[in-house]
Structure 1
Amino acid sequence: MPLLSEPDAISGIRTFRTRTYVELEEGGTVLLGHDAEGHYRARSSAELVASGPRLEQVAGSLLWRQVVVAVDADSSDSVLTITLHSSSDDDASTTSKRQRTTPPPQNEATEQAPALFRPDWAFTPTLALPQFITVNDVHYKVMSRMDARQFPILYIQPPTHPAYDFDVLEAILRHTPEEQPRAAIRVPPDDHWEIDTRLPFEKPLTAHVRDIFPEVTTVTLENIARKQFELANSSPYADAAGLTALRQIFHSWKHATPSPHPQWSDPLLMLSILPTTSGITNTSRTIELPAPSSTGALNRLDFDPMRFRRQWEFFLNTYSTVDFKRFMADLLRRNGYTVMEPNSFNSFPALVFRRTGHDYLFFMSLHRTRIPKLSMPTQNNPNTTGMSLETQVGDAAAQVVKDAHEANRIIWLRGGSQILPGAADTVFIIRDDNARL
């Protein structure tokens, strides 16, 4: 079992994944949370908002204790139940948790799971408040936008939450995942509302991307997740259709099934198209490469060589075109693509590949560069030098490329290594959409 972190030197708070814990002066470790007013309380791992006893840090100590308050008999603070956790408890553990009740400290009680949605998520509707639905006579705020698309699945949210842009939702999924919006659907025959008890997202959006593209850089990871979020929602802010689309995409990734939204499921389809400009001569061309550290826009994919150090070190010590093609083909395969076997021709290296989940075909020309642009002189253009497609990629791949081009289902890419002074080495892919036919 993984252990909790060491206590913070000031607060005494310990962490495990996104959860926070404190040690009590009377002994034991308790899961810590905030109530609706922002006070520290003990909480159950299933709660949205902490409802256990108020807690405070013991002055001059890293230990915590229960706040002594005068309460009414009907007050929630009169239920003084604290769930104690072993320091080796895992989130998914099914072992029983020892509890203490006060008073008396020796009294043992069986933990009862709290209601899935506490009254903190409910509100009294007024003309000034947004849309709501009613479930079991409780009103819940519905996540929406002014231009929200019509969609049969709705999502409820805590009434204090603002609109969800990428950064807000990512932070919630990372730190307080139990506070994420929950799906609600109408159930026939009377079309009453029911709330889905499952969490829509089991991890942050970037973590879903990392599972499928394990070798991209941290900057690329966030750029993919952000672009995917904004495309699925047709906006910087989430709506019901967008959240459901993201859930469908992640499901198709996990189970390697066709995606209902291929244009948002593959980052190579989401890449911005970079312009090609005239080079030094009238017939040469160049493509300016955005900085590898550029954030907020998905205009290149970068793969971190430190995640495939052995293959990268071999690549740096060979200038064989065949080795170059094999290196790039292996990288693509490790990140979920199916690559047609490269041929052994040494000029104009290129690869042809696909990805499960959509029927687009990718053609990628390969380059090595030590400057922030790709230069493509006339003598390096296979079309102007009479180099056939069959010679570049082989007969079988050439026919697949021609068929995909005729069906308008081909994406033209460029990729390879970029080694710049003062910057981390990277393996990149960009999209230029310049047909190689």
Structure 2
Amino acid sequence: MTPRQPAVQVNAIPETYPLSVQAALRSITWPADQVHLLHRLDADSGLFTSPDGRLYAHVENEGHLLVEHLSDGRYQIPFSFTPLLPGPFLTKTERQPIWTFERPNWLAHSSESDRPNATAESTVSEQPLYLAPNDAALLSPALHSPDGIRYDKHRKTYIDTPDGTVMVRKNATGQYEQTSATARNISTLLFEQIPGTKLWRRKTRESADSRESSHQEKRKASSDRPENKQGSSKRPHLEEGADTHLALTQSLLSDNPDAINLSYSLWRNWGRSIQPPLGQHIEIDGQYYRIVPQDLSDNPRLVYLQHPLFSPALYDAFEFMLRDNPSLQPKWAVKRNNQWTVLDNIAPLEMPITQYIARTFKYLSDQSVSSLARAMFNQANHSEIIQGRGLALMTQIFRYWGDRDLRRASQRELVDPLLMLRNLATRSASPRETTLEIPSTLGEGLMRLDLDPGRFPQHWNEYAAEPTVPRLRWLFSNVLEDDGYVIDLMDAALWKDGLLFHREKIDYMFMLKLPSIINGRIQRSPDTASELSHAMWQLRVGEQKKPLSTYRDEQKIIYLLGGTQTDALRQTTLFIVRDK
């Protein structure tokens, strides 16, 4: 009897590859609730080791992903579940311990199942990159904003469409267009809000062109209007030397004059019905909320609500929080009509301290950015432990840096890095010593500032072709001027190796000398003032056009020393230290 063949043959189904990049990454992502178990290799690499010895990288918007260190120095995400397809390579974010990567083509776009309304004739490149539903669930609710804009923990913006959630950014014309934290060369898709809803939709080319034309007409009309005279409609300057909390409170109340709907605010979960015995608290609607410590004896109008899971006391923890989980940062609470109101629609700090510094002082080296950030944090309260007063002071400084035209600088030393430099002469065995050892970047306080030639290659190459003292003076002059300082012209024949400069709205003068450097020690004059002639002291300089001698008498001249230095790794920097 001939054996019967089975009616149905069973074959192994080939392994399929995940079409969603989120699904692929989740399989190699370290659990978010166990990040504390990872060991950070160093403060700036963004690399970690797990208890079992595997290597992880902190990837923007993705968490901590498993990576492999290749022999050529590159880092690659190991997609072991796709043996025929290589994983993407990581790229280090400049000045930040964060990595990014470009999605490979086979993972560049969502699958058809993620785009229910995609038509067969539509090309993949014309479709939005929809966020995975489980990732979209981690965003802030759309009902928190009038236009339905949603945010992730890095304050990146997203919108909901009938087909899914899309990451967007506001372009130069004020329109929202598709963007991506990982993919490059994506289609420029514009979106508009659906009237009467918090949903958005794709713009047609006709409506986009019409909106752009209207925008250009408005821009032209505004440029044809005469400029407002000082004091007409601009927000008034904050008074010089005003109390930090009072000035910041007035500014916040001016920015937020109306009551804020706090019905859905997550901060309400921070309160307790019974006031705890430890710490300082304020009462809102019968609940007690812990605040960052500060002096409450003068009945302040501004405090910082403290997240119950995070204390912002020390710099490292505070900086890492701003990078990894900024939702844990304190929130502003201002007293209005004798009642506390939490400003839930704005965060006190939009980015890490290092990022504020790198954005403002573009030529500083990475090491100087890191050192300056730590020094700012510690000096804000003259302690390594931050308090409400120090947070308010730093916030004021960052707001001034972001809008120097409408805000007035505080007299505090934190307003400019050169004012924060420690005086090297006080560390010398003898104040009359003619040389000083060039300090390293390590040490207590801000010992030096380094400017990275890689950030101004054209200026540096012109100097390097003729490395003389006059060319070094020219180099420092150009770099400082590019970074916002005003060079006060002096006769080079009277002071060949020096520069005099200031920054607008800061009532100090900086006097930089570029002396010889021998065996790691820099030459200095015991009395720099004696080198200047009587005529030079009578020069009217600075924003106030005061005689230079007046700045001397008011002890508002900062004496600096500078030059070039090459480290053991053959990296050359321009350094500046403070003589006295």
Q: What TM-score do you get using the length of structure 2 for normalisation? A: 0.54
Change (3 A) 1:397 1:127: closer
**CA offsets per residue over residues 246-304 of structure 1, 9 Å max, x none?**
1111122222243224322111111110027589xxx871101112x426630111111
1:272 pairs with 2:422: yes
Change (3 A) 1:394 1:341: farther
Q: How does 1:32-431 map to 2 (within 5 A)?
A: 42-45=137-140, 84-86=164-166, 88-90=167-169, 115-144=264-293, 151-188=300-337, 191-197=338-344, 198-256=346-404, 257-275=407-425, 285-291=434-440, 293-294=441-442, 297-345=445-493, 348-367=496-515, 369=517, 371-376=519-524, 388-389=532-533, 400-431=547-578
Change (3 A) 1:411 1:31: farther
- Structure 1 contact 302–427 (Cα < 8 Å) conserved: yes
Q: For CA contacts below 8 A with separation 6 or more, give which structure has more relative contact order.
A: 1
Change (3 A) 1:132 1:19: farther
Q: Select between 124-133 and 4-13 the one with higher mean Cα deviation.
A: 4-13
Q: Percent identity?
A: 22
Amino acid at match of 1:264: L
Query: Matched residue pairs, number?
Result: 365
| Distance of 2:433 and 2:315 partners within structure 1 | 41
Partner residue, 1:29: 131
Q: Select between 9-18 and 204-213 the one with higher mean Cα deviation.
A: 9-18
- Structure 1 contact 363–401 (Cα < 8 Å) conserved: no
Secondary structure of the residue aligned to 1:154 is strand
Amino acid at match of 1:267: P
Amino acid at match of 2:493: F
| Distance of 2:291 and 2:134 partners within structure 1 | 28
| Distance of 2:578 and 2:297 partners within structure 1 | 30
Change (3 A) 1:217 1:184: same
Amino acid at match of 1:419: T
- Structure 1 contact 274–431 (Cα < 8 Å) conserved: yes
**CA offsets per residue over residues 116-155 of structure 1, 9 Å max, x none?**
225542234354443222223433221216x788543111
| Distance of 1:32 and 1:170 partners within structure 2 | 28
Change (3 A) 1:377 1:234: closer
Report the CA distance between 1:319 and its aligned residue.
3.8
| Distance of 2:303 and 2:370 partners within structure 1 | 26
Change (3 A) 1:388 1:42: closer
- Structure 2 contact 438–521 (Cα < 8 Å) conserved: yes
Secondary structure of the residue aligned to 1:367 is coil
**CA offsets per residue over residues 356-392 of structure 1, 9 Å max, x none?**
23201111111353642213489xx8888xx544798
Change (3 A) 1:319 1:397: farther
| Distance of 2:177 and 2:461 partners within structure 1 | 46
Change (3 A) 1:365 1:187: same
Change (3 A) 1:368 1:419: farther
| Distance of 1:206 and 1:149 partners within structure 2 | 33
Partner residue, 1:11: 29
Q: What TM-score do you get using the length of structure 1 for normalisation? A: 0.70
- Structure 2 contact 170–177 (Cα < 8 Å) conserved: no
Change (3 A) 1:421 1:160: closer
| Distance of 1:428 and 1:95 partners within structure 2 | 42
Secondary structure of the residue aligned to 1:299 is coil
- Structure 1 contact 215–307 (Cα < 8 Å) conserved: yes
Change (3 A) 1:128 1:423: farther
- Structure 1 contact 133–142 (Cα < 8 Å) conserved: yes
